Amino acid sequence: MLEVLIGPVTGLLDKFIPDADQRNRLAHEISTMAERHAQELAKAQIKVNQAEAAHKSLFVAGWRPAVGWVCVMGMASNFLIAPIGNLILRLNGSGIEVPLVDLQTMMPVLMGMLGLGAMRTYEKAKEQELACQHCGKYKFDDDVLKILNAIRKEFGPMPVTSGYRCPQHPIEAAKTRLGAHTTGKAVDIGVGRDRAYRLLEAALAHGCPRIGVNQRGEGRFIHLDWDYDRPYPTVWSY
């Protein structure tokens, strides 16, 4: 629901807020609302999972392990029981064949329970967090993605508040010149205080040439930018 409202709301900012810097800052904060909302929902789900696991009733605490064991048995059937059983049946001249379990239906459930993405792969999740929040298209630069993954490996979880932006994105449409986000070589990370400092250290260690800093009030973030067609090295504040 929030994703549907963000585009129209940010599109109205230029009509009511004349100051470009304030308009861009507010547009960025509004565009991160859906991401923050999704993070809160994920935290709430984790609390529900913990409460279920600690419940005294086997039917409440045991349903997740039960589903997990069903998935394990399905994989065991496909990769152990069926191949060995079919080999024995063929050696005996039998025309019977052990059927395989439909893992395409089962694997998303298992991956979600393992924390590797509910109903989606990790690669799909990365595309989703870096896709344009206005049009949904994913046009992020592969080389920059490799650098970001290296930074993420050292730094830890990095909440992406804005990745690729199409030229029609409200924030970009309000500019006189399209920003680096439209090249797929820039990203905003929602961090503040000591985490912002550590992220700056990690980004500089990996040669990030362009850095923007917003550490005032709500919606704090660090902008990391590898658009070498613009002046570099440089650091600016919002």
Q: Are residues 17 and 100 in the same domain?
A: no
| Residue 91 forms part of a structural domain | yes
Taking residues 80-88, report their average pLDDT.
90
Q: What's the pLDDT tens digit per position in 93-123?
A: 888 888 888 777 777 777 766 655 443 434 4
Q: Are residues 66 and 37 in the same domain?
A: no
The total domain count for the chain is 2
Where does residue 232 fall: left (phi above 0), alpha (psi -120 to 50 degrees), or beta otherwise?
beta
What's the confidence (pLDDT) of residue 119? 39
Cis peptide before 108 (omega within 30 of 0): no
- pLDDT-wise least confident of 36-50, 130-144, 152-166: 36-50
- pLDDT-wise least confident of 22-26, 54-58, 170-174: 22-26
On the question of pLDDT at 1 being above 50, the answer is no
Q: Are residues 73 and 94 in the same domain?
A: yes
Q: What's the pLDDT tens digit per position in 189-224?
A: 988 889 999 999 999 999 999 999 999 888 899 999
| Residue 202 forms part of a structural domain | yes
Q: Are residues 126 and 198 in the same domain?
A: yes
| Residue 231 forms part of a structural domain | yes
Q: Are residues 51 and 164 in the same domain?
A: yes
Q: Are residues 88 and 205 in the same domain?
A: no
On the question of pLDDT at 16 being above 50, the answer is yes
Q: Are residues 103 and 126 in the same domain?
A: no
What's the confidence (pLDDT) of residue 215? 92
What's the confidence (pLDDT) of residue 143? 93
Q: Are residues 49 and 79 in the same domain?
A: no
What's the confidence (pLDDT) of residue 3? 47
| Residue 171 forms part of a structural domain | yes
Q: How many CB atoms lie within 10 A of CB 133?
A: 24
Q: How many CB atoms lie within 10 A of CB 183?
A: 20
Range of the domain at 75: 62-110
The closest of 181, 184, 159, 163 to 172, measured between CA atoms, is: 181
Q: Are residues 228 and 161 in the same domain?
A: yes
Report the alpha-carbon distance of residue 136 to residue 128 in Å, rounded: 8
Q: Are residues 37 and 96 in the same domain?
A: no
Report the alpha-carbon distance of residue 128 to residue 132 in Å, rounded: 8
Q: Are residues 158 and 90 in the same domain?
A: no
